[in-house]
């Protein structure tokens, strides 16, 4: 029984991982522009802190992109998106 539960949990983890990976933003000009637009369109005063954090993450993402640090760029892009989703 324990083996069955362990196998089911492992299968569940592998089934979720690809779905999560699809949600990650890739480091490219289109995603950079998309996130910049989202940051600029955020005008809600209640989200001022999140907007500032997202703008900071976008700056770091663009710097990483210029330095050809793709993984760092993707990490900062995704952090910016997460900041804008917070309420």
Write the pLDDT tens digit of every residue in 7-37: 444 444 444 444 444 478 899 999 999 999 9
First to last CA, the chain: 42
Q: Bigger pLDDT: 86 or 11? A: 86
> Residue 61: its pLDDT value, please?
95
Please state the length of the chain.
87
CB burial of residue 27 (10 Å; 0-12, 13-18, 19+): buried
Residue 53 contacts by C-beta under 8 Å, 6 or more apart in sequence? 80, 83
> Residue 74: its pLDDT value, please?
95
Q: Taking all residues of the chain, what is their mean pLDDT, rounded to a whole number?
A: 80
Instruction: Give the HSE-up count for residue 49: Cα atoms under 13 Å, Cβ half-sphere.
Output: 3
């Amino acid at each position: 029984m324990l083996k069955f539960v362990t196998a089911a949990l492992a299968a569940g983890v592998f089934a979720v991982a690809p779905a999560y990976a699809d949600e990650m933003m890739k480091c490219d000009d289109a995603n950079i522009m998309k996130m910049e637009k989202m940051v600029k369109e955020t005008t809600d005063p209640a989200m001022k802190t999140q907007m500032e954090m997202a703008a900071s993450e976008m700056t770091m993402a663009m710097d990483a992109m210029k330095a050809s640090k793709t993984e760092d760029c993707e990490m900062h892009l995704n952090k910016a998106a997460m900041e804008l989703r917070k309420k």
